[in-house]
Amino acid sequence: MSNKTISSALISVFSKDGLAPIVKKLNDLNVTIYSTGGTEKFIKDLGIDVVPVEDVTSYPSILGGRVKTLHPKVFGGILNRQNHDGDVAELKEFDIPQIDVVIVDLYPFEKTVASGASNQDIIEKIDIGGISLIRAAAKNYADVTCVSSVDDYTEFLELLESKNGETSEDDRRQFAAKAFNVSSHYDSAIFNYFNKNNEIPSLKISENNGKVLRYGENPHQKGFFFGDFDKIFTKLHGKELSYNNLLDVDAAVNLMLEFKNDAPTFAVLKHNNACGLAQRDTLHQAYVDALAGDPVSAFGGVLIGNTEIDLTTAEEIHKLFCEVVIAPSFSPEALEILKGKKNRILLILKDIEMPQTNVRSCLNGVLVQDRNNVTDTLEGLKAVTKTIATTEELDDLIFASKICKHTKSNTIVLVKNRQLCASGTGQTSRVDALNQAIHKAQSFKFDLKGSVMASDAFFPFPDCVEIADNAGITAVIQPGGSIKDQLSIDYCNENNIAMVMTGTRHFKH
């Protein structure tokens, strides 16, 4: 492995934060510094000598600054192979300076897009010279050190100080890897901006915020999370979230967004499904009734409310062993109580929109689909039976439909008085899902007489509505669409059951 002593550096950056100590250290090491535009002025203002790139290329910055470093004398200085006699001779022949370090920080393309700027402003933030310098320097890591982001300034300064301006090939290769990470992420962001309507069937996903988890679903599996967790949550307390915690938190947030502006609503989730959910006049009562839906499964679950958790609610929650509690806010008194368990994770859910695309691995590729943004509403229901659902039943039907949408298929959800009585989840047969739900509700002493049933897909036969009728269920919501819909409708008409259809299936695999 060959070590290199830095004798020259090209600096052209957008962000100057943290740059001054690097420039001063390079100057102390007698490194010749080349620069352009605003960076050149910044270095001069530090009282440090700098060679303008224009003096090397004999060309000024042209086209409104679009072309400054794009020149053979610049890229020849970066891309030459220092152990290649032909390259060394050409540098001398064409008066090309050797460049040992390239420091670049790209125009902030993603931040400009996120700011809502005009298309023209966004286009101007597509860096050309900077990205080219990064690729060239990283390619030639055998001889050149590439510092490709403001995020790497500190590490590079520490390297300069600890090795007195000398770099190893391992050092340069590591910076090259970081550089190609920067360039690939940057290009992905630009592509996704141009392909926002998915006219080109190509998937580019790039996440720079990576976190190593303790393990995956099981201890023998490695696990990672890539994403900006802090954009969605403020973590107030507790241990690190696990792979399974994150999956449950995702399910909890997506479910509770259905009730974002509703009356106080509380849910308890286990293995991505709601095992308890209720809506009441107070969050305290909503929690008590949600817990009653399945106090056994709630052990070790994820809890979420749609409004601030107050002291009385916190005192009830504190009696339960739970992994995570999520809410828009916590009162100071509630927070003090809930912090009583050192490992309990407390999260504030920020006012955000979840991604509009769902991505999951499949075989040797990925599946991508639009987010399921359809929520069944009273206005969208079609009454298909002679018996018309009451106002109370309609409210419960919509409530049940929201839960059903976020429960693993095949699923049946039973609700009474805006409280989840039970659900049958992830069954291969819809009849099995219904029987599971009824058995579970009865085991926790729910009276299903007058309750309602939601199904994520149609009934191909009337068996489900017959079983529901025998259990005391009086109203049903389902998408419809079976060629045998009339069989279920006929049974309901003969037995005074109200049925409404939504026209929208809510499979969740």
Helix (H, G, I), strand (E, B) or coil at 34: strand
Per 3-state DSSP, the chain is made up of helix, strand and coil in percentages (nearest 5) of 40, 20, 40
237 catalytically annotated:
no
The active-site residue out of 24, 139, 185, 318 is: 139
Contact 317, 338 (CB under 8 A): yes
Distance in angstroms (rounded) separating the CA atoms of residues 78 and 11: 12
139 catalytically annotated:
yes
Distance in angstroms (rounded) separating the CA atoms of residues 25 and 131: 25
Residues paired with 499 in a beta bridge: 476
Distance in angstroms (rounded) separating the CA atoms of residues 193 and 140: 30
Chain centre distance of CA 148 = 25
The active-site residue out of 16, 204, 271, 339 is: 271
Contact 25, 158 (CB under 8 A): no
- Give the DSSP per-residue string, 299-341: TTEEEEESS-B-HHHHHHHTTS-EEEEEES-B-HHHHHHHTTS
340-376: buried (b, 16+ CB within 10 Å) or exposed (e) per residue? ebeebbbbbbeeeeeeeeeeeeeeeeeeeeeeeeeeb
Contact 216, 222 (CB under 8 A): yes
Q: Which residues are catalytic?
A: 139, 271
